[in-house]
Amino acid sequence: MSTVSTAHDFKRNAEKVIADGTVVKNLKAVRQNFIDKRVKAAQGLPEFEALRENAKEIKNHTLAHLDLYLERYEAKVKEAGGHVHFAVDAAEARKIALEICRKVGAKTVTKGKSMITEEVGLNEFLETNGITPVETDLGEYIIQLRGERPSHIIAPAVHLNKNQIESDFRRVHTHLDPNRDLTEKVSLLTEARGVLRERFLAADVGITGANFLIAETGTSIIVTNEGNGDLTQILPKVHIVMASIEKMVPTLEDVSQILRLLARSATGQEMSVYTTLSTGPKRMGDLDGPEEYHVILLDNGRSAMLGGEFQDMLRCIRCAACMNHCPVYHQIGGHAYGWIYPGPMGSVLSPSLIGVDEAGHLPNASTFCGRCESVCPMKIPLPKMMRHWREREYERHLNPALTRAGLGFWAFFAMRPKLYGLATRIGMKLMALASRGKGRFASLPFASGWTKHRDFAAPQGETFQARFKRERGTR
């Protein structure tokens, strides 16, 4: 089992967030920034569209030969003096990580930002086993203090405002002067840096994720803006990379193409501030670096997606553009989705990884506005794949009975044009009469989800087809 999910409660989760209002307000303050910056970055690069097409092809090719590239990658890591462990599921990944930590008697581990360690629930697991994990990315650090999960895949604390963070710092950093000035954003950053510096030096093991794994060289790459990833993987004696298998890319040249898309799509930067490569442990003559280097490669349901209708999702490079542009995400934030991956990419990926019975709401909670697909650097057809999930649910009768009945009723008439003509003629006449000349309804049975919040316009009376036939006398 992976980290606990409340995705089945999506609707209630969302309603709570909406009723509270804070998250919506906090997101509103920052979300346009992501959008404007991405547009500017994309427009500033004439070959942006061509790069998207290339990147898609690179990943499609890699996924088609993933077994081969995984083997090559493993061989190269070993050549460089590192170890590769394959983990079928979350439990196995946690166990492997714990064993490595125990072998070196680790008490604290520092962590770079990693969604995969969130997916397997590594922090809780290490803690129950007496090892203290310390998140070193500022956003991750904040949510760790709060005992929360990331609400966004690249900006984990985006649902919070400055005041909330300030009060968390005052609550936890009790060794500091209670009268210190934390009004400026930068003072929060400086404080976190100070606290984390000591942790970096004390850590026995550093655990990072990977944005890419390069088969030809056995290299893993992380991109960060804070440089915390570098310290996490260089200072401790042991470096563990935990990454999922689809992070594979054949060559350094391939990665350099995809990297040009990643930061532009994510934050609108041309490149992230740090792009850090690591290949094996410290070599003779290296000034620093870990003595041991481990890679834990996680499957957790991904290989089952290969060759199926959800394979395209494995092209995802976790840039977050889809959620940054999602009108649904904007109104409910990431936690409402109930598991690790929010927004459109999560609505496709989560049902694959934790099952559609658990995460069935997610692919339904979309207006199919298509904005996600239009900005996805990897050209993943997100709405189409959400629709595929809806098809699976429909086949398995997982969608609500009322929706099914309503659709069935409608389809019965839609399949019978004559009957449809008659029924709509009568129905619209009746509805027009029922509206009593007011032009709209303030409530309608069967559509209370609609009329709770808005009126429903009354029909004009006669249907178009009936009137056209009457006036023109044809067909």
Q: Are 374 and 414 in contact (CB under 8 A)?
A: no
Give the C-alpha separation, 229 to 274, whole Å.
Answer: 9
Q: Which of residues 21-50 bind another protein (CB under 8 A)?
A: 24
Instruction: Give the interface size with ligand SF4 as a residue count (CB under 6 A).
Output: 12
Interface residue with ligand SF4, options 87, 126, 158, 320 (CB under 6 A): 320
Q: How far is the CB of 377 from ligand SF4 (least distance, A)?
A: 6
Helix 464-472, helix 417-434: angle, nearest 10: 110
Binders in 351-380 for ligand SF4, by CB under 6 A:
376-378, 380
Strand pairing class (248-249; 238-244): unpaired
Q: Which does 289 bind (CB under 5 to 8 A by kind): another protein, ligand SF4, none?
A: none
If contact means CB under 5 to 8 A according to the sort of partner, which of ligand SF4, another protein, none does residue 322 touch?
Answer: ligand SF4
Nearer to another protein, 257 or 451 (CB): 451
What is the C-alpha to C-alpha distance for residues 158 and 249, in angstroms, rounded to an integer? 29
User: Minimum distance between the CB of residue 147 and another protein, rounded to whole angstroms?
Assistant: 26
CB 342 within 8 A of CB 372: no
162 versus 330: smaller Cβ distance to another protein? 330
How far apart are the C-alpha atoms of 337 and 275, rounded to whole Å?
30
Neighbours of 116 (CB within 10 A): 24
Rule CB under 8 A: which of 68-107 touch another protein?
none
**Which one of ligand SF4, another protein, none is in contact with 64 (Cβ closer than 5 to 8 A by kind)?**
none
Provide, rounded to whole angstroms, the least separation between the CB of residue 88 and ligand SF4: 24
Lookup: tokens for 446: 């069967």
* Nearest residue (CB) to another protein, 50 versus 468: 468
Least Å distance, CB 391 to another protein, is 4
Residues 342/357, Cβ–Cβ less than 8 Å: no
Q: What does 345 bind: ligand SF4, another protein, none (CB cut-off 5 to 8 Å by kind)?
A: ligand SF4
Task: Please choose, from the candidates 213, 211, 174, the residue with its C-alpha nearest in 3D space to the C-alpha of residue 71.
Answer: 213
Complex with ligand SF4: residue 85 or 379, whichever CB lies closer = 379
Residue 126 or 386 having the CB closest to another protein: 386
Between 60 and 108, name the residue whose CB sits nearer to ligand SF4.
60
318 binds, among another protein, ligand SF4, none (CB under 5 to 8 A by kind): ligand SF4
β-strands 248-249, 274-278 pairing: unpaired
Based on the shown chain and the rule CB under 6 A, indicate whether residue 321 belongs to the binding site for ligand SF4: yes
Please list, in sequence order, all residues whose beta carbon lies within 8 angstroms of the beta carbon of residue 128, skipping any fewer than 6 positions away. none
d(CA 262, CA 276): 14
Residue 475 found at the interface with another protein (CB under 8 A): yes
Cβ contacts of 393 within 8 Å, gap of 6 or more: 356, 360, 363, 364, 399
Supply the minimum distance, in Å, between the C-beta of residue 376 and another protein.
12
Grouping H, G, I as helix, E, B as strand and the rest as coil, residue 381 is: coil
Segment near another protein (CB under 8 A); pick from 106-114, 158-166, 254-262, 442-450: 442-450
How far is residue 136's CA from residue 199's CA, in Å, rounded to a whole number?
A: 9
Applying CB under 6 A, which of residues 143, 322, 326, 356 lies at the interface with ligand SF4? 322
**Window of 11-19, 80-88, 213-221, 244-252 that interacts with another protein by CB under 8 A:** 11-19
Shortest Cβ 37–ligand SF4 spacing (Å) = 15
| 115-134: contacts with another protein (CB under 8 A) | none
Question: What is residue 302's three-state secondary structure?
Answer: coil
Q: Among 110-118, 138-146, 198-206, 310-318, which window interacts with ligand SF4 (CB under 6 A)? A: 310-318
Nearest CA among 282, 274, 232, 265 for reference residue 113: 232
- Report the partner that residue 455 touches, choosing among another protein, ligand SF4, none (CB closer than 5 to 8 A by kind): another protein
Q: Strand pairing partners for 292?
A: 238
Max Cα-Cα span within the chain: 93
- 7: helix, strand or coil: helix
Nearer to another protein, 30 or 201 (CB): 30
Could you tell me which residues come within 8 angstroms of residue 126 by beta carbon, excluding any fewer than 6 positions away?
97, 98, 101, 109, 132, 133
Residue 240 identity: I
Strands 440-441 and 456-457: antiparallel
Site for another protein, residues 379 to 418, rule: CB under 8 A: 384, 387, 389-395, 399-400, 403, 407, 410-411, 413-418
Residue 328 in contact with another protein, rule: CB under 8 A? yes
Instruction: Report what 11 binds from ligand SF4, another protein, none; CB cut-off 5-8 Å by kind.
Output: another protein
438 binding another protein? (CB under 8 A): yes
Q: What residue ranges bind ligand SF4 (CB under 6 A)?
A: 316-322, 345, 376-378, 380
